[in-house]
Amino acid sequence: MQIDLFKNEAVKQDCNRIGGQIFSRKYKIGHSLEPLDAIESDVAEFLAYRDRVRSLLKRPKCMIQVGNLKSDSYAEIELLGIGEYSKSFTVTIDFSRALDFILSELTMCRQSSIRSMPDYDTVSEALLNYNFDKVGNINFNKFMGLDPYLDLFITSIIKQHSEELKTLSIRETTYSVLTDFYGQVTQFLQDVQNYVARAISIEMPRTQSVYRSKTLSTIILSSNIPVTEEILLKGEHGDTVLSPQSYRMYEYAKKLSGG
């Protein structure tokens, strides 16, 4: 399947509204948790996941925001596919390694230049999940010199803050510029996520898919049929391949358990 980013007017008109509904929509369990509790496993990742689900269900659903990206606190619950209005399949699409595509669309830089960065996958996942445990602090040294267009983009951000930066310390200056950079990256990713989620619903009508939830980097859809075909997402300056994963009810948890 190919999705041409921001080209379908019907998708564009509706995608942000649909994205916003994730956080206003109430959640109600439609199926028992007993099958989750009955899964026998000593896999630490699964046990931690099951504990988080139990804990989350005791708290109200809320929105978590980092930069301009938003995450649904109930995302891990939605992965079980047990919501009252959940369809037969839960579909996830992960954008964690799409930093090269995002920067190419924002700056016209070459994707290959970004991918030449040492530990590209780890850096991309860290930035787009706001999890820096594996990489520590990330600064502009990671990005400067990779591509002339990216250098211009970063330099333009610095110039936009030139007056403000005169009164700031070096640390404050770096933080201000990084915040602007990260804000633009995350806003673009948010727009892409909303567009792709709505495009699947409109361009694959058999799915009758509903945009149910999301983490910072992953969108979660509820669908009548599995979505397993790779998606070629084409932008103005580059493209990226997305690999949807589809799960029946409780299947995500069973996969985590090693079953």
HEC string of the chain? CEEECCCCHHHHHHHHHHHHHHHHCCCCECCCCHHHHCCCCCCHHHHHHHHHHHHHCCCCCCEEEECCEEEECCHHHHCCCCECCCCCEEEEEECCCCHHHHHHHHHCCCHHHHHCCCCHHHHHHHHHHCCCCCCCCCCHHHCCCCCHHHHHHHHHHHHHCHHHHCCCCHHHHHHHHHHHHHHHHHHHHHHHHHHHHHHHHHHCHHHCCEEEEECCCEEEEEECCCCCCCEEEECCCCEEEECCEEECCCHHHHHHHCC
Distance CA 14, CA 197 (A): 11
Q: Cα 31 from chain centroid?
A: 27
Beta bridge partners, 83, equal 29
Q: Along the 259 residues of the chain, how does pLDDT read in single tens digits?
A: 999 999 999 999 999 899 999 999 999 999 999 999 999 999 999 999 999 999 999 999 999 999 899 999 999 999 999 999 999 999 999 999 999 999 999 999 999 999 999 889 999 999 999 988 777 777 778 899 999 999 999 999 888 877 776 777 767 777 788 889 999 999 999 999 999 999 999 999 999 999 999 999 999 999 999 999 999 999 999 999 999 999 999 999 999 999 7
- For residue 131, give every residue at least 6 positions away whose Cβ sits within 8 Å of its Cβ, in sequence order, or none: 125
Q: pTM of the predicted model, to two decimals?
A: 0.93
Half-sphere exposure of 199 (CA within 13 A, CB side): 22
Distance CA 159, CA 152 (A): 10
| Alpha-carbon torsion angle 236, 241, 247, 253, nearest 10 | -110
Domain boundaries, the chain: 2-257
